[in-house]
Structure 1
Amino acid sequence: MASKYSYLDLVDQVDTFPNAATHPVAFAEKTAPYSRFVYLSHTIGYIIPIVLDALKDTTLSGDWWEIKPGVVSLKGDTVEERTRNIDETTRRWREANRFEVLSGWRNEKYTVYAPKSTPCFHMERCATPLFGVLTYGSHMTVYIPATATTPMRIWVPRRAAGKATYPSMLDNTVAGGMGDGIDPFECIVKEAGEEASFSESYVRQHAKAVGFVSYFYVRHEEAGGEVGLLQPEVEYCYDMIVGEDGPIPKPFDGEVAEHILMTVEEVEANLRARKFKPNCAAVMLDFFVRHGILREDNDKDFLEIYSRLHRRHEFPTR
């Protein structure tokens, strides 16, 4: 029989890096062996020892990187130069099979910002955990509201068994990473068509922005690639109501095996059995808070759960 996890356990699963503001001693101990990844006066990530060793070994790395005790910076006077330098670095690692995580190469660029709202460089999506930089995504929960005679129900997809990361786990109805040049809402519109076959017009009319969740994840084995890589993230959240007669989400691009219409009780049971992908569990808990399902009077850890689902990152943001 599956273990029954608390909701705080689910937060612990995804927000696993000590927070400097609330746990300064644990943060100092965790980061002691790491190098700060910096641009000007900004910390934009953390680099763990195996990645630092790879940077030192990379041919011509002196042309692309400045490495000092405890601090690493990317050379280049322009966004284009910095982008080229980090791209050349990670491509050489990929060709040499230096890191397993790079086997997921997608030719999809993410933007790293520094200062705030200012692009510093663009880099391959799957390489971002090697540098501990902040990334972004959009997630949407699609549900049928409760009526006088029927309870609320939520459309929950099961990830395809062939997925490289978190195969066969439960997910949010629609979710995707925000590649370079796309904003949160356009990301949701795109992913809703690709993952769930929702029409663009319906999503544009009915999807509602409801905030975000943020956390600092230390990657587990299920994430694919090396264990212990650093992945701070912000996920923009959306809700979308559908009626009893649809529209019904349907798999389209092979990323999803099926969509299951669950009651809140069924979702809760699957959450507590840790059947959800970790960051999707966080998004679902945020949905529960906003809809009055998870409250201060029914979970003693409510304040910690809520505050850690909205972590303030120490990095410049978009």
Structure 2
Amino acid sequence: MARKTTLDLVNECDNFPYRYDDVKTYDHAVSAYYSFKLNGCPSTLGYVTPNIAGRLPLDKHWSVDHVNHTLMFQPQNASTLEQRNAILAEYLQQVRQQHVFKVLDGWRDELYPIYGPNRELILSMERSASALFGVVTYGVHMTAYVASDSEGGMKIWAPRRAETKQTYPGMMDNTVAGGLSTGEEPLECLIRECEEEASIPENIARQAKACGTLTYFHIRDARAGGETELCQPECQYVYDLKLPSDFVPKPGDDEAIDFRLLSIAEVQEALADGKFKPNCALLLVEFLIRHGFLTPEGEPDYIDIVSRLHRKMEFPLR
């Protein structure tokens, strides 16, 4: 398998077309999807593939316009957020029980937030269903590192995902990562995930440094599990954590097999070999840039890469 350049890694994760690159290609891509909308909200909340729109069971709370490519959630007699969420939750459970979509086999009993044009919370949706509707999801990603050791130089703690994971089994991951549930703040989520995934106690996790966000628009392939070609626009809150040299992260759940302490050269080698999960690779690219390991002198696509780390989304954000 050909080794990946840094730009290849960016393209693999942020792989929805850009309008400014090629208007016709972008317009053609967008026109192929159905716009997911909530009755009463003017914004498009996500993109749905024709395959999903065509197979989605319909009831009085849903309508599909196959001419204008619109999928509308129109909850009847629902005047509050809680009522809308209850109708949506009951509907998705029914779809799950009918085994319509494979992606729902990964049901998590976690709610993801969906926001309107004024950053208001307008829906909460089961995590595993979010990719069906192509809505923006949020998460935290943290890179834990050791500044130097007896051999000198920075090293990064990288876990390997369990082979039993529905999504990207066996691939390498960021030290800690997790999805942001409805009502949860990024740091709160990070502290929880640190304990669950890496056995990092709260007093250490709170030392993590917020380093901004990463936004990208990913189109899922078979490695993600379930249906392919689903839209997955994401915003990740990025954190760094400098760990003591004698602290060893340990899997706190069944998410990871183990943790390995890798030199920067080993991380770059693993990235080039395509061993990291696509969005984790993008997060590490951003880490390498911030810490001066990826520079304009050594990377011919530096400007393009840096600009691609903060994509402007087509949908309302948090």
> TM-score when scaled to structure 2?
0.94
Which range moved further: 264-273 or 113-122? Answer: 113-122
- Kindly provide the CA deviation profile for residues 179-227 of structure 1, in whole angstroms up to 9, marking residues without a partner as x: 11111111110000011101111111x1000011111111110000001
Give, in angstroms, the shift of residue 23 of structure 1: 3.5
Alignment-mate amino acid for residue 251 of structure 1: P
Hey, what does 1:47 align to over in structure 2?
48
Hey, what does 2:187 align to over in structure 1?
185
- Kindly provide the CA deviation profile for residues 232-265 of structure 1, in whole angstroms up to 9, marking residues without a partner as x: 00111000001222x2101111211010000000
Which range moved further: 149-158 or 128-137? Answer: 149-158
Hey, what does 1:259 align to over in structure 2?
259
Give, in angstroms, the shift of residue 139 of structure 1: 0.5
Give, in angstroms, the shift of residue 178 of structure 1: 0.7
8 Å CA contact 1:165–1:224 kept in 2: the answer is: yes
2:127 aligns with one of 81, 100, 125: 125
Alignment-mate amino acid for residue 288 of structure 1: L
Hey, what does 2:271 align to over in structure 1?
271
Hey, what does 1:213 align to over in structure 2?
214
Give, in angstroms, the shift of residue 22 of structure 1: 4.2
- Quote the Cα distance in structure 2 between the aligned partners of 1:145 and 1:240: 10
Alignment-mate amino acid for residue 31 of structure 1: V
Alignment-mate amino acid for residue 308 of structure 1: R
After TM superposition, which residue ranges in structure 1, 4 or more long, deviate above 6 angstroms? Answer: none
TM alignment of 1:55-70, pairs within 5 A: 55=56, 57-58=57-58, 61=59, 63-68=60-65, 69-70=68-69
8 Å CA contact 1:74–1:85 kept in 2: the answer is: no
| Number of corresponding residues | 311
Hey, what does 1:28 align to over in structure 2?
27
8 Å CA contact 2:149–2:245 kept in 1: the answer is: no
The answer for unaligned runs of 5 or more in structure 2 is none
SS of the residue aligned with 1:82?
Answer: helix
Q: Does 1:18 align with 2:17?
A: yes
TM alignment of 1:197-236, pairs within 5 A: 197-204=199-206, 206-236=207-237
8 Å CA contact 2:171–2:276 kept in 1: the answer is: yes
SS of the residue aligned with 2:177?
Answer: strand
Which range moved further: 80-89 or 12-21? Answer: 80-89
Hey, what does 1:301 align to over in structure 2?
301
Give, in angstroms, the shift of residue 21 of structure 1: 4.5
- Quote the Cα distance in structure 2 between the aligned partners of 1:23 and 1:135: 26
Give, in angstroms, the shift of residue 92 of structure 1: 2.0
The answer for unaligned runs of 5 or more in structure 1 is none
8 Å CA contact 1:66–1:74 kept in 2: the answer is: yes
Percent identity at matched positions?
A: 41
Hey, what does 2:70 align to over in structure 1?
71
Pairwise CA RMSD of aligned residues? 1.5
8 Å CA contact 2:158–2:262 kept in 1: the answer is: yes
